[in-house]
Amino acid sequence: MTAILSVQGLVKSYDGRPVVNGATFSATAGECFGILGPNGAGKTTTMRCCLGLTAPDEGGVELCGYSIPAMAREARYRVGVVPQFDNLDPDFTVTENLVMWARYYEISKRDARAMVPRLLELAGLEDRADARIDALSGGMKRRLTIARALVNDPDVLFLDEPTTGLDPQARHLVWDGLRRLAKEGKSLILTTHFMDEAERLCDRLCIMDAGKIIAEGSPRQLIESHIEPVVVEVFGEGVHEWAEKEASVLVERLEVSGETAFCYTHSADAILAAMSSYPQLRAMRRVANLEDVFIKLTGRDIRD
């Protein structure tokens, strides 16, 4: 299988502090690969190094067969980039934004205009061709930014937190669009801190923390190798006492955070039975997910 992106021992420091610290991973052509991590983990810096926008201190990147940063210009013709914050030009209409962007790739105005209907269709913006940017919703702007990144028909699309700031309906529309692109054979590289996004979209992903890659695999592999299959979240008054007296002797792994006891186990029955003399407690039983893996590996502390 061909690697579309290969990152080896990447190091980047700012003010003497390594923010990317030996990251190594690779993404295969045609897959959706995610880079997950808490805020400040080094995801954006890694992505910038991959695109040749930031020069690493050490390590190597190969993108679409080109060595980066030496051949970043050549690679960029085969790559589309969706930045974290939309940077559409507010002085132009939807169509004009697409046509202007095509000029960076030396695509003629005529050819660019010819591809506009398909890009608008992909973005679900067929009826907004002549709308001004400030008349679009956040979700529409995001979809237009994604469509704009496709003007050069790239092999790989880089997306930095593609659904941050969108409401649930808008997120689903963006996800549908990205799934469609993946089906059409585009490789997608995305950073996110949304676990559900990663679990739904990514074929494989890596988890990054403090500049290091601490896990890599498919969502299912990561869940199976790091987490017990069943999680019972128990909450309510007296949960701390219950956790200490009852749960601690029953479950494979127990974590109490705030007012919730997270019981990681192979079977929920004994845990639910142990709640019988604590009628004020409530429980939610669910299968383990990527968020459990993420929390186990990166901790529950908030990162600002």
Interface contacts to ligand ADP, rule CB under 6 A: 14, 19, 37, 39-45
Could you give the CA distance from residue 220 to residue 62 in angstroms, rounded to a whole number? Answer: 27
Task: Quickly list DSSP for 85-123.
Answer: S----TTSBHHHHHHHHHHTTT--HHHHHHHHHHHHHHH
Q: Which is nearer to ligand ADP, 172 or 193 (CB)?
A: 193
Whether residue 69 is preceded by a cis peptide bond, meaning omega within 30 degrees of 0, is yes
Nearest approach, Cβ of residue 7 and ligand ADP (Å): 14
**Residue 199: exposure state from Cβ atoms within 10 A (0-12, 13-18, ≥19):** buried
For ligand ADP, which is the closer residue by CB, 44 or 95? 44
User: Given the complex with ligand ADP, which of 9 and 238 has the nearer CB atom?
Assistant: 9
Give min distance, CB of 43 to ligand ADP, in A. 3
Q: Which is nearer to ligand ADP, 57 or 241 (CB)?
A: 57
> Taking the complex as a whole, how short is the minimal distance between the CB of residue 193 and ligand ADP, in angstroms?
8
Residue 241 CB, nearest approach to ligand ADP (Å): 38
CB of 160 to ligand ADP, least distance (A): 8
**SS3 state of residue 216:** strand
Q: Which is nearer to ligand ADP, 54 or 267 (CB)?
A: 54
Half-sphere exposure of 55 (CA within 13 A, CB side): 3
Distance CA 67, CA 78 (A): 13
